[in-house]
Amino acid sequence: MNKIITVKQAVEHVKDGMTLMIGGFMVCGSPTDIINALIEKGVKNLTIICNDTGFPDRGIGLLVANHMVKKVIVSHIGTNPLTIEQINKGEIEVEFCPQGTLAERVRAGGAGLGGILTPTGLGTLVQEGKEVIHVDGKDFLLEKPIRADIALIKGSVADTTGNIVYKGTTQNFNPLMATAADLVIAEVDRIVEKGHLVPESINTPGIFVDYLVER
């Protein structure tokens, strides 16, 4: 199966109302070409699972700026005033999740787990509506796994079978999200032939990746 497609072909998979995971941290490690193509397509009512909503003029922030997002599951929004503005107007729903907990919920979704137990958030607003589990005399919040229809991730180098290597901190959330969606599309800086990557350098095995888009 040929996994290499164009950006236009990639966004054809994204439909109104879908739930998307988008990798990266403050745009670093985010699939910006695919995001820009989504804006051109004009999809709407998206639920986005991501670390943050970035900035108004870059990355995920552009989806917010163009009113394409109905909900975000996110660890922070402080760098994007448009997200805050839309919250205040009732135009977007935000589910806050502590950053480590968010990563673990994605991991749990990818691993087929029923959830994770964490003390983070006990006695705060994070606890509202969640089950408290007692283990060995200690309380933990049950945080449920999350999955998406599509994960849009960003890699540095991939081979033609979909094995991916990330440079430095660009792997933020990307390897986890590659395991937790029904369809995974990776935007990469460069594609090489099978066998060109050192096996122990591979962060995301190709079995998780459905399609590749070369920048």
C-alpha–C-alpha distance, residues 183 and 93, integer Å: 24
Residues 6 or more apart whose CB falls under 8 angstroms from that of 2 comprise 160
The model's pTM: 0.96
Q: Report the pLDDT value the prediction gives residue 16, as an integer from 0 to 100.
A: 98
Q: Can you give the residue ranges of every domain in the chain? A: 7-214
pLDDT in tens, 1-26: 799 999 999 999 999 999 999 999 99
∠ Cα 98 103 109 (to 5°): 120
Q: So what CATH class is 7-214?
A: alpha beta
Q: Report the pLDDT value the prediction gives residue 1, as an integer from 0 to 100.
A: 77
Residue closest to 151 by CA, chosen among 64, 22, 49, 6: 22
Taking 80 as the threshold, does the pLDDT of residue 38 lie above it?
Answer: yes
Residues 6 or more apart whose CB falls under 8 angstroms from that of 6 comprise 213
